[in-house]
Structure formats: structure tokens, C-alpha cells
Amino acid sequence: MPNAIRPTAATELKDALSIVESDPHGWWAIHTALSYGASRLAHGDTGLPGIARDAIRRAADAGFGQGRPDPATTRYTAKRIMAWQDALYVVNELPEWRFPDEVLLIGWFVECGGPEMGRGPARSAFRDYKVQHYVGGTRALYNKGDHGNGPGWPLSSCWSPDDCRYMNA
């Protein structure tokens, strides 16, 4: 039976290494931005949209540019939001990722944009930066297969700052 929410979900890559290998430029741009964001959070910074804007500049300085021009898709991977979120949950299980949810929310600002970022497909401003509501709530749907992803996706973990090498450096 086809997936009514996201018909492409059955054919989307579900293995972390395959996802990264399918678009290494995009995923390593995101990794660069998230690593920077994790470091800023570890040093006590709290303004997530500002950190995200600085993370985009950091990725650009590292050679990743400002991202793709189509604001209807995500910045670096040119995916639809739900497909990117699901792929992020898979990729974040890799040992060199394992970012906590607050860092993943910075990734949502970077990759999905929204009103506070001035571009992107996101309509939500992620008001009040409710990490558990946005990232945790979406993970709960994803882990149940109710995020349009359906069966076959690996479970996503909620990593702590202690699990993230970029917050302990």
C-alpha cells in the first residue's frame, strides 16, 4: 500500500552511510554547521537562530557555500523537510555525529530555514525553541513510523551532550 503522507518514503535510503554517500557535500556541510553549533552551546551560548546563522557562515568559510538556491527545499541537501528530518535521525546514529536534540534544532534552522532564517521550506518559527516539542516529538513519530516514513527505518536515539564529541572538546 502506498504511503499517503510521503509516497517516496519506501525508496528513500535508510542506511546512514548510504545517505551521507548519496550527497557528501550536503551532509558534511550540515555536519560542519552542527559541530560549530555544538561547540557554541557547550560554551554557554543560547540564541539558537543566531548560532544557526553563524553556523551557515562557518560552513561557507569551510567551502560549502550558502547552500542551494531553491527555498522550497532544504539548504544543503535539497530535500523536502520530512525526508530530511528522517534522514537526519538515521545519520545522527553514526558515532561521528550523535548530536543532542538542542544541536539538531540548530540543524533544523540551518537546513529547513523558516521565518527567523529568512529562507527555506519551514513555515514554523520553532517558537520558544521547544526542543522536546519539535525534535523530540518528531523523533517519537519517526520511531513509531508515523512521520510518513513507515516501516524499515532504524530507530533514532536521543543523545546527550556527553555523547557528543563536539560538546566535550
**Hey, CA dihedral for 163, 132, 144, 71, is it positive or negative?**
negative
Residue 7 lies in a domain: no
Residue with cell 557555500: 65
- Count structural domains, the chain: 1
End-to-end CA distance of the chain: 47
Is 118 part of a structural domain of the chain?
yes
Cα separation, 49 vs 72, in Å, equals: 19
The dihedral through the CA atoms of 58, 102, 168, 43 has a sign that is positive
Structural domain contains residue 48: yes
101 close to 137: Cβ distance less than 8 angstroms: no
Q: Is residue 44 part of a domain?
A: yes
Instruction: Show the domain range for 95.
Output: 24-167
pLDDT in tens, the chain (169 residues): 567 778 889 999 999 999 999 999 999 999 999 999 999 999 999 899 999 999 999 999 999 998 888 888 999 999 999 999 999 999 999 999 999 999 999 999 999 988 888 887 787 766 566 788 889 999 999 999 999 998 889 999 999 999 999 998 6
98 within domain boundaries = yes
pTM summary value: 0.93
